[in-house]
Amino acid sequence: MSDSAEQETVTEEPDHSRHETRNTAILALQLIVMRIGWIFKTESVIIPHVLDIISSNASWARGFLPVLNRLGQSIPPLMASNAVRDVPLKKRALLLTTLGMALPFLLLAAVWWWLESPSQMWFVVFFLVLYLIFFSATGLNQMVTGTLHGKLIPAERRGRLLGIAGFVGSIGAVAAGYYLLRPWIQLPKNVGFIYIFAFNGSAYFLAGLLANLCVEEPDEAPQRPRVPWWSPFVRAWEIFRHDARFRSAAVMSTLFMTGLLLFPHYQALAKEFLGSEPIDLIWWVIAQNISVGILSPLLGKLADNYGNRLALRWSAFVAAVTPLIAVLLASEVVPNGRQWFWVTYVFLGITPVTMRTIANYTLELVPREEHPQYLSTMTICYTVPFLLSPLFGILLDYVPFQIPFIAVSGLILLGGVMTFWMAEPRHSK
């Protein structure tokens, strides 16, 4: 597309500036409700704990969590990117994807209520299948959310939306964690997970309804020829191969996201070496959500004022310290490591904030009509290392835990160093 044609396309786009305040408030509220629901399935604490209960602490089962997480968040969005691009009202797509996130947990709550004992092998498989379905819906939801934000919110104010939603959402999540999650997780025979999963699914259901309140002018639905199912993969490869700015960001993001390989294993590390108990999970979840609440506005302000590249740099340097802190606290060097293990989750709070910053950086690289394809391509790029996560889980049973934790720390640090060679799209406008 020529520059003149691209400028003509931009001028014909609907003007949403009159409704920006309303849309910002609605989208922030939607993210806040999502954040409150998310604390009841935190993949660094709650989900691996549940899987340990039903699989008798099997590391191999925990090892499947990251790969299912990333496959769900990468393949379906890539396959659906063209369809999302052509949906006239993106808020309707956001409604459907949040409902898709709600159904697996509502079903899980019903099945958990029906079972006399959840410690059954078939239930492990069932749980992992639902986990994959949930993150497939989540991947679609994140792509649609980024596309809708790219349509309704100017680039220099998306960080403000991130900050508001992160700060207020974390306050609500901490309150819900203390007053609801804390007593539920201590109920005998693990019956509290019925309430935990039901609340989680209900929060996503409500968030989907809220998204539909945005004021959005419909896009024209272009008549496009049908393309083979594999064409999104070909297009993704072309983007990675030919767009040097995107390729640098994708490699940096891939290195950063290797930190997620460790997420299911932090709580197992504390359980094995520090003798942690279920009540400790609550304080870890609260610490992580307070961290998200503080870091969201700080990182959002940094991104709005100086660009997303600098925000990604600081995020990577902070995240690289996290595995080292866990290793130190689980060792004999620090006395009373169990009492201080919550510090690990303070640093883990940087990860969900950074994932949104990666999306915002990607949005600035290309015109709006390319947003779904680029967002889905980014997720497929940093999913590749997670194909090894089951082997990574098995590895933890046979090597000293310090080795993989320190190795991941080094990879994240390398990603931070790479930001010095990444482009800042805002400077080139």
pLDDT of residue 264: 84
pLDDT in tens, 170-212: 899 999 999 999 999 989 888 999 999 999 999 999 998 998 8
CA distance 177 to 188: 18
- State yes or no: pLDDT of 293 exceeds 60: yes
Q: Is residue 12 part of a domain?
A: no
Q: Is residue 239 part of a domain?
A: yes
H or E segment to which residue 408 belongs:
helix 402-418
Q: Is residue 369 part of a domain?
A: yes
Among the residue ranges 56-65, 323-332, 407-416, the one predicted with the least confidence is: 56-65
pLDDT > 70 fraction of the chain, expressed in percent and rounded: 94
Q: What is the CATH number of the domain that holds 370?
A: 1.20.1250.20
pLDDT in tens, 5-41: 444 444 455 556 678 889 999 999 999 999 899 989 8
pLDDT, mean of residues 210-221: 85
pTM above 0.85, yes or no: no
Tokens of 243: 């767009």
pLDDT in tens, 261-280: 888 889 888 988 899 888 89
CA distance 16 to 152: 6
pLDDT of residue 211: 85
Residues in the chain, how many? 429
Q: Is residue 11 part of a domain?
A: no
* CB atoms inside a 10 Å sphere around CB 398: 7
Mean pLDDT of the chain: 87
- State yes or no: pLDDT of 73 exceeds 50: yes
**How far is CA 220 from each of CA 86, 213, 224, 227, 369, rounded to the nearest angstrom?**
8, 20, 12, 19, 12
The better pLDDT of the pair 17, 49 is held by 49
pLDDT of residue 224: 66
- State yes or no: pLDDT of 315 exceeds 60: yes
CA distance 40 to 96: 21
CA distance 174 to 346: 13
Instruction: Show the domain range for 122.
Output: 19-216+229-428
Position 86 confidence tier, pLDDT thresholds 50, 70, 90? confident
pLDDT in tens, 346-385: 999 999 889 889 999 999 999 888 988 898 899 888 888 8
CA distance 348 to 272: 20
Q: Is residue 270 part of a domain?
A: yes
Q: Is residue 178 part of a domain?
A: yes
CA distance 317 to 107: 39
CA distance 61 to 66: 10
Q: In whole angstroms, what separates CA 79 from the centre of its chain?
A: 19
Answer whether 416's CB lies under 8 Å from 316's CB.
yes
- State yes or no: pLDDT of 228 exceeds 80: no
The count of structural domains within the chain is 1
CA distance 130 to 45: 18
Q: What is the DSSP string of 16-53?
A: -GGGHHHHHHHHHHHHHHHHHHHGGG-TTTHHHHHHHH
H or E segment to which residue 421 belongs:
none
Q: Is residue 336 part of a domain?
A: yes
Q: Is residue 14 part of a domain?
A: no
